[in-house]
Amino acid sequence: METALASLKERIGEIHDLDRTSSLLGWDQQVKMPPGGAGVRAEQLATLERVAHEALTSDEIGRLLDKLATQEDSLDYDSNEASLIRLVRREWEKARRVPSELRAEMTRAASLAMPVWVKARQESDFSQFLPALRSNFELRRRYVECFDDYDEPYDVLLDDFEPGMKTAEVRAVFDRLKEEQVPLVAAAREEGDRPVRGVTFPLEGQKAFELKVIERFGYDPSEWRLDTAVHPFAASIAIGDIRLTTRYFDDNLDGLFGTMHETGHGLYEHGVSRELERTPLAHGASLGFHESQSRMWENMVGRSLPFWRHFFPQLQATFPEALSGASLDDWYRSVNWVAPSLIRVEADEATYNLHIILRFELEQELLADSIELEELPEIWNQRMQDYLGVEPPNDALGVLQDMHWAVGAIGYFSTYALGNVISGQLWEKLTAEIPDMHDQFEQGEFGALAGWLQENLWRHGRKFMPRELIERSTGGGLDPEPYLRYLRGKYPLAA
């Protein structure tokens, strides 16, 4: 068993090297690559993916897993070794079910759909995008057919992003969110304008200020980078090599909140136990758990009153022209303004989940053939009216706004709202266990928060399934109530 385990670790280590290398190729592509490198970069990424996939699905990995099967039970369930074997077996079995031709076709269709979507969105014309979208959905149906252990087809798609999560669980949670959030938004929506508006935030000030903030969170240039990108993201090239990207706007501080969001992702990847390096355990447990961290640091920390009690004087000193006339309360209300809007990525905390629920429901109805792809724009606009009270004037501001379906990521959206739900559960737990947490925020101290998350979440990486991790970190199952309590606490008018 020692030998089989060592062989497995060696092979899996190499696959992990290839995966992390793909991450670097992707980071470079969006951050540093001159435009002339684009064509060859696509080939390089495809080759890396193919080599890593062939290595994972090899017969040799299967033989090693077989050898380890008999002795696996003697290992402690929580041990790194048992967790590695569980994860590799799960991934090997999933990957072996999908013919490589289908996988290649899915990748190719997504690459082809991307520029079609870009043009369709530019011209706000859903009909241009329809054939490519149909193709992506058809390929996902064929993908679902590769599996047989699901309750409903959407389970298979969801499992790629939120391992082990069932559609029925998500639906129950989302129904509850919708029941509460639709009236909450209607009650909390603000009239008139934000108190702070029409001002300018010079870029150099933004860069200096956000560094001060994220260094308090844990950012450290010896193991992190921060660059700009058109579509911000976080990448981990190693546990000790975390790369954040952000962007800046002249007339608001959305860039700062975006940076705090990506820092949340980065802290999670950076907090994985170093013992798990060079294994597939060295990542966050799921997209939902990841989003719980990014949204926690952006919103529950970065838009909280204690946070701004500490930082607002420094912000005023950085931007005297914009903020000398504003009070802390003006600023707090401005960055927590509730206003139903058309675009998901610009949505406030009160409305965000409703954007997600709309997409989740549409994905399921499309897969169930209860609606047709042609009807999407019309149904989209009607639901926006029902859930948020706003109606998109065109496809660009409606059904064409997100790139996810273009790249074939169907089943992905729900993880954003699951992230909010999980963040609510974690927040309630750690508020109970660190009673003076908000006092610490007022002192600019976030170490107790980070320490709790490190101990209860980050260090585990992917050792446990999301379901297990919710239980271990919060003591219960997936539960929307804590997040709803958080929202009602934040927007008392709606409570």
Residue 76 makes contact with its own copies by CB under 8 A: no
Number of residues that bind its own copies (CB under 8 A): 38
Phi, psi of 224 (to 5 degrees): -140, 160
- Nearest-angstrom CA–CA distance, 100 and 109: 14
Minimum distance, C-beta of residue 225 to its own copies, in the bound complex (Å): 6
Out of 2, 35, 70, 148, point to the residue binding its own copies (CB under 8 A): 35
Minimum distance, C-beta of residue 234 to its own copies, in the bound complex (Å): 14
| Cβ–Cβ under 8 Å, residues 272 and 283 | yes
Q: If you ran DSSP here, which 8-state letter would residue 237 be given?
A: E
Return the exposure string of 291-320: e unless at least 16 CB atoms fall within 10 Å of the residue's CB, then b.
Answer: bbbbbbbbbbbbbbebbbbbbbeebbebbe
With CA atoms as reference, report the closest residue to 312 among 214, 444, 147: 444
Residue 101 makes contact with its own copies by CB under 8 A: no
Q: How many CA atoms lie within 13 A of 476 on its CB side?
A: 12
Strand arrangement, sheet containing 224-228: 224-228, 241-246, 234-238
Quick check: helix, strand or coil at residue 235?
strand
Residue 277 makes contact with its own copies by CB under 8 A: yes
- Token pair, residue 224, equals 């992190």
DSSP 11-54: HHHHHHHHHHHHHHHHHHHHHT--GGGHHHHHHHHHHHHHHHHH
Out of 2, 3, 39, 231, point to the residue binding its own copies (CB under 8 A): 39
Residue 289 makes contact with its own copies by CB under 8 A: no
Tell me which stretch binds its own copies (CB under 8 A): 45-53, 198-206, 259-267, 353-361. 45-53
Out of 185, 188, 238, 338, point to the residue binding its own copies (CB under 8 A): 238
Catalytic residue among 91, 180, 210, 262: 262
Residue 156 makes contact with its own copies by CB under 8 A: no
Nearer to its own copies by Cβ, of 28 and 479: the residue is 28
Name the residue with tokens 């399921």.
Answer: 364
Minimum distance, C-beta of residue 34 to its own copies, in the bound complex (Å): 5
Minimum distance, C-beta of residue 263 to its own copies, in the bound complex (Å): 15
Quick check: helix, strand or coil at residue 243?
strand
Quick check: helix, strand or coil at residue 305?
helix
| Cβ–Cβ under 8 Å, residues 428 and 485 | yes
262 is catalytic: yes
Nearer to its own copies by Cβ, of 36 and 489: the residue is 36
Out of 37, 99, 320, 451, point to the residue binding its own copies (CB under 8 A): 37
Residue 100 makes contact with its own copies by CB under 8 A: no
- Nearest-angstrom CA–CA distance, 236 and 16: 12
Residue 48 makes contact with its own copies by CB under 8 A: yes
With CA atoms as reference, report the closest residue to 60 among 5, 11, 6: 11
Residue 211 makes contact with its own copies by CB under 8 A: no
> What single-letter amino acid sits at 349?
E
Residue 13 makes contact with its own copies by CB under 8 A: yes
Q: If you ran DSSP here, which 8-state letter would residue 279 be given?
A: S
Minimum distance, C-beta of residue 241 to its own copies, in the bound complex (Å): 3
Residue 24 makes contact with its own copies by CB under 8 A: yes
- Nearest-angstrom CA–CA distance, 63 and 187: 60
Nearer to its own copies by Cβ, of 244 and 356: the residue is 244
Residue 32 makes contact with its own copies by CB under 8 A: yes
With CA atoms as reference, report the closest residue to 400 among 168, 142, 118, 179: 118
Residue 104 makes contact with its own copies by CB under 8 A: no
Residue 49 makes contact with its own copies by CB under 8 A: no
Site string for its own copies, 217-236 (x = CB under 8 A): ----xxxxx-----------
CA Rg value for the chain: 23
Residue 373 makes contact with its own copies by CB under 8 A: no
Residue 441 makes contact with its own copies by CB under 8 A: no
For its own copies, the binding residues (CB under 8 A) are 13-14, 17-18, 20-21, 24-25, 28, 32-37, 39-41, 43-44, 46-48, 50-51, 221-225, 237-242, 277-278
Instruction: Just list the catalytic residues.
Output: 262
